[in-house]
Amino acid sequence: MTGATAYAMSFHAIGGWVERSAVLVFNTWFLLSLGRAYLLGLRGEAAREREWVTRAVGILLGIATRPVMGVFFATSGRTHLGPNQFFGMAFWIGFSINAVVTELWLQSRRRAKLHKPELYFERFALSRSEHNLNVRS
C-alpha cells in the first residue's frame, strides 16, 4: 500500500523532478527489497529474509528523516530557497542517510559473523565442536 501511494503522490511533487526522482528510486528499492524478502521467506531462508526486511524498513524510515526540511525552512531567509526548490533535496538527503546507515549496519553485522564465528555459535548454544560434528555428518 505504501509503495502504491508513493508512486501516485509523486505525480504532484512539490519539489518537482528532483523530489519525484528520489521517490521513484527509493520507492522502487523499497518494493524490490520487500519482494526479495518475501521470496526468501518462501524458500525458508530466514536470515537473508530478515536482512532484506531490515533494508526495506531502513528505506521506509527515510520518510522520518525528512525533517531535514526543517533546516531548509529555518535557513530559507539566507538561502532564498522556496519549498519547491528544497523539497527534492530534503527527500534525497533523508532517504540517502537512512539507506547508507542501514547498509553500513547490515555490512558490519555480516563482517562480525565472518571474523568472530565463535560469537555466532555461542548465540545459538552451539559449541565449535558440536558445529564441526554437525558439518561432518
pLDDT digits (tens, 9 = 90+) for 54-94: 999 998 888 777 666 666 666 777 777 776 777 777 878 88
> What residues of the chain score a pLDDT lower than 50?
126-127
Residue 7 cell numbers, joined = 508512486
What's residue 33's pLDDT? 94
Rounded mean pLDDT of the chain?
A: 76
State the DSSP H helix or E strand holding residue 13, giving kind and residue range, or none if neither: none
Nearest of 116, 118, 124 to residue 47 by alpha carbon = 124
Per-residue confidence (pLDDT) for residue 34, from 0 to 100: 92
Q: Say which amino acid occupies 38.
A: Y
Q: Rounded to 5 degrees, what are φ and ψ at 136? A: -75, -30
Domain ranges of the chain: 2-136
Q: Which amino acid is at 21?
A: S
Cα–Cα dist 85/65, whole Å:
18
Q: What pLDDT, on the 0 to 100 scale, is given for residue 10?
A: 67
